[in-house]
């Protein structure tokens, strides 16, 4: 089986490539990635001889048409994905997440290929801290940022192409991922690399915001489960019951790295910062038999800290630029 993976030089996509080569060697993999700031070709350096890498834009109709036509399955990770950046400049998110997804859909439609579209739980907006509810596949979309709005738009495009044109597609909406190769602008690797750089970690506001954390390998295992067993036209929520507030996470990281758990700075909160995300994963567990393997966040964080400590060369050159951008926002 030939598989085209878009955005596979980014965090989750790169881990998907490594996971697939290790656990599903029957797939012949082609990667399409534009290598924007969040894409890093070095994440695939150790497997370059096992994949076909194409540098290109998912908005390039001719290129996408050619690549989709030459593969059996398309797994669509490519996206602009950082809330803070979307608040500073929404346009790349509109272009990549909406126009790019439409380009993929038209190629998949033309060539009658199988598509799996990767999305986020942020399309649902947020929940109150004292609300016992979780997001389900029937929760109405209520995005709150340019990023989450653009991802909601991309999901709706996929649903429309399934219904209107019979495209063979599935969608997954996942909770917050963590693990190796995550860009250091993101919450967990930013705190880890701050400590490794001798800088105090930064906590938005009071740190009460809750995220439902999942290890990236669990996410990617779920994607393969959907490819194997998922029903065409269905949406599946992927989560690992890993709810923790940001304050708890930053204190856990400090403790694991041998620091006083109170040794962090409070910075300005993000505008419109969603309070709580929580995934009800019962559909994918019940219908497809998937189960997360990393159910202990502390153990997962320990492994992630070890990876960033051992791969200093991968992130260090990016660090000053990322922190300068945050400093301009008082964060």
* 13 falls within a domain: yes
The three-class DSSP label of residue 95 is helix
In tens, the pLDDT along 260-281 reads 999 999 988 877 788 999 999 9
Question: 91: domain CATH number?
Answer: 3.40.50.720
Positions annotated as catalytic residues are: 121-122, 147
Contact 169, 117 (CB under 8 A): yes
The pTM (predicted TM-score) of the whole model is 0.94
* 111 falls within a domain: yes
* 62 falls within a domain: yes
* 132 falls within a domain: yes
In tens, the pLDDT along 85-120 reads 788 889 999 999 999 999 999 999 999 999 999 999
* 113 falls within a domain: yes
> Whole-angstrom Cα distance, residue 28 to residue 3?
6
User: How many separate domains does the chain show?
Assistant: 1
* 201 falls within a domain: no
* 283 falls within a domain: no
> Whole-angstrom Cα distance, residue 216 to residue 303?
12
Helices (H), 166-311: 187-196, 216-229, 246-256, 282-288, 297-310
Structural domain that includes position 91: 2-178+212-238
Pairing type for strands 73-76 and 2-6 reads parallel
**Mean pLDDT lowest for which of 55-64, 79-88, 198-207, 293-302?**
79-88
* 216 falls within a domain: yes
Give the pLDDT confidence score for residue 269 in this predicted structure: 82
Mean pLDDT of 298-325: 92
Mean pLDDT of 188-214: 95
């Amino acid at each position: 089986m030939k598989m085209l993976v878009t955005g596979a030089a980014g965090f989750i996509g790169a881990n998907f490539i490594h996971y697939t080569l290790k656990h599903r060697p029957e797939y012949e993999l082609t990667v399409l990635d534009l290598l924007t700031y969040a894409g890093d070709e070095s994440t695939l350096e150790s497997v370059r001889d096992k994949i076909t890498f194409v540098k290109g834009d998912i908005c390039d109709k001719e290129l996408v048409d050619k690549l989709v036509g030459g593969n059996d399955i398309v797994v669509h990770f490519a996206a602009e994905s950082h809330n803070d950046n979307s608040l500073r400049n929404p346009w790349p998110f509109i272009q990549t997440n909406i126009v790019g997804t439409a380009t993929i859909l038209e190629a998949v439609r033309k060539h009658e290929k199988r598509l799996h579209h990767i999305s986020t739980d942020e399309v649902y907006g947020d929940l109150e801290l004292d609300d016992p509810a979780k997001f389900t596949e029937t929760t109405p979309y209520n995005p709150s940022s340019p990023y989450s709005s653009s991802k909601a738009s991309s999901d709706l495009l996929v649903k429309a192409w399934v219904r209107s044109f019979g495209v063979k597609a599935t969608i997954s909406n996942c909770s917050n991922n963590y693990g190796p190769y995550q860009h250091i602008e993101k919450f967990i690797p930013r705190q880890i690399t701050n400590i490794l750089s001798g800088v105090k970690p930064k906590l938005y506001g009071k740190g009460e915001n809750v995220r439902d954390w999942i290890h990236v390998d669990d996410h990617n295992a779920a994607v393969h489960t959907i490819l194997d067993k998922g029903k065409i036209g269905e949406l599946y929520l992927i989560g690992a019951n890993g709810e923790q507030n940001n304050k708890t996470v930053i204190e856990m990281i400090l403790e694991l790295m041998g620091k006083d758990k109170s040794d962090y700075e409070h910075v300005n909160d993000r505008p419109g910062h969603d309070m709580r995300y929580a995934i009800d994963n019962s559909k994918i567990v019940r219908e497809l038999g998937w189960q997360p393997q990393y159910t202990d966040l502390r153990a997962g964080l320990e492994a992630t800290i070890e990876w960033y400590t051992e791969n200093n060369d991968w992130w260090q050159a990016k660090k000053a630029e990322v922190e300068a951008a945050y400093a301009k926002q008082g964060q």
